[in-house]
Amino acid sequence: MALYVRLARSDDLPRVQELAATGSRGMYALDLVAELPRWWSDALRARKLELYVLEDDSYPRHQRIRIAVSGAFVADEVADRIWTAHVHGVADRLVRADLAGEPVFLDRRGQGKGNATSGVNALGLDFACADPDWSVLGLARWTPILLQSLRMWLDGWKLRLGMREAIGRDLSLLLRASGAPLIRGVNARSSAPRERRYLHGISREQAARRPVSFQALLFFAGREPRYVFSPAEQELLLLAVRNHSDDECARELGISPETVKMRWRGIFERVAEAPPDGFPRPDVSESGKRGSEKRRHLLAYLAQHLEELRPRSR
């Protein structure tokens, strides 16, 4: 029995919608739940959303997805408004605004601009569970996987703010355990414990002044990239780090296998100017082996230095 986290695929969306309808504790109104698969598809295609599924392989295949979480980056004014005047139903309100055409969530260009200047504002959206067990043992089981999904999303960015609304006291405790302090509660006394809403979050200044956890400190490290990969090279490398083959990368990016090979050549030429530790030397015999070793070492380096794959406006 093992737990896994991965990026959601298009064929996961019906299951994720089912969890949103039954396991999100009213995060979305029912009329919006019906629109979610279309919105998720559009937002994922526009690179405005990261959606992860957490699986338990002890369940039948169609039930293995037990938790779905997502997040997006929002403009400073949107983030500041949520931070200072939290009104319940953050995810529902912002998704409706985006569907209405309001520029709520940042696309790749907006993310790159924020990442190169004052920083980006990360906002957690979906958090839906199937039969959650938030006992002490349940928390111990799922918390490392949830932290892994957080790292996949946030590591390597220059963060300004990170926030998420929690529904239910148990999920609020889970967020505290992951290093996100409580900002304030909304209707926390006027409703049942399972329905109470809480806003959790931390700013870069708070993380520097009072690091509440290793995770918070890691996400606000703001490391500068060693290389300056082009946006096209970053797209390829991000897929490769996630274990996509060259053929899968070509299909995902809508380019030819020859273009994929050309981008790899450009990447290796760039890296050769200042290779990371352990990178194979040019005099290694057998070019095929050298290429395989170069790729393996580069991907291992990038997996620990995701700042190399985050967009930055030049």
- Rounded Cα–Cα distance for residues 237 and 227 (Å): 13
pLDDT-based confidence at residue 210 (cuts at 50, 70, 90): low
In terms of domains, do 100 and 67 share one?
yes
SS3 content of the chain, % helix, strand, coil (to 5): 50, 15, 30
Which residue would you say has higher pLDDT here, 190 or 139? 139
- Rounded Cα–Cα distance for residues 142 and 12 (Å): 20
pLDDT-based confidence at residue 12 (cuts at 50, 70, 90): very high
Domain count, the chain: 2
Is the pLDDT at 188 greater than 60? The verdict is no
pLDDT (mean) for 159-170: 90
> Each residue of 83-142: pLDDT tens digit?
998 888 999 999 999 999 998 999 999 999 999 999 999 999 999 999 877 777 877 888
In terms of domains, do 192 and 282 share one?
no
**pLDDT of amino acid 159:** 93
pLDDT (mean) for 32-60: 95
> Each residue of 25-40: pLDDT tens digit?
889 999 999 999 999 9
Query: Which domain-ending residue is among 169, 197, 219?
Result: 219
In terms of domains, do 259 and 154 share one?
no
Domain membership of residue 224 (yes or no) is no
In terms of domains, do 62 and 203 share one?
yes
In terms of domains, do 62 and 206 share one?
yes
In terms of domains, do 100 and 208 share one?
yes
**CATH of residue 280:** 1.10.10
Domain membership of residue 300 (yes or no) is yes
User: Is 170 in contact with 73 (CB distance < 8 Å)?
Assistant: no
- Rounded Cα–Cα distance for residues 93 and 96 (Å): 5
Pick from 45-49, 253-257, 283-287: least confident: 283-287
In terms of domains, do 175 and 283 share one?
no
Domain membership of residue 133 (yes or no) is yes
Type of residue found at 118? S
Query: Which domain-ending residue is among 194, 219, 244?
Result: 219
User: Is 58 in contact with 1 (CB distance < 8 Å)?
Assistant: yes
Identify the domain containing residue 123 by its residue range: 3-219
Is the pLDDT at 283 greater than 70? The verdict is no
In terms of domains, do 186 and 244 share one?
no
Pick from 96-100, 107-111, 213-217, 284-288: least confident: 284-288
Domain membership of residue 110 (yes or no) is yes
In terms of domains, do 147 and 198 share one?
yes
b/e map of 278-310 (b: 16 or more CB within 10 Å)?
A: ebbeeeeeeeeebeeebbebbeebbeebbbbbb
**pLDDT of amino acid 284:** 46
In terms of domains, do 236 and 100 share one?
no
**pLDDT of amino acid 271:** 92
**CATH of residue 50:** 3.40.630.30
What are the backbone angles phi and psi of residue 14, rounded to the nearest 5°?
-60, -40
What are the backbone angles phi and psi of residue 270, rounded to the nearest 5°?
-65, -45
In terms of domains, do 114 and 190 share one?
yes
In terms of domains, do 246 and 122 share one?
no
The reported pTM is 0.88
**pLDDT of amino acid 190:** 57
Q: How many helices (H) and strands (E) are present in the chain, helices listed first? A: 14, 7
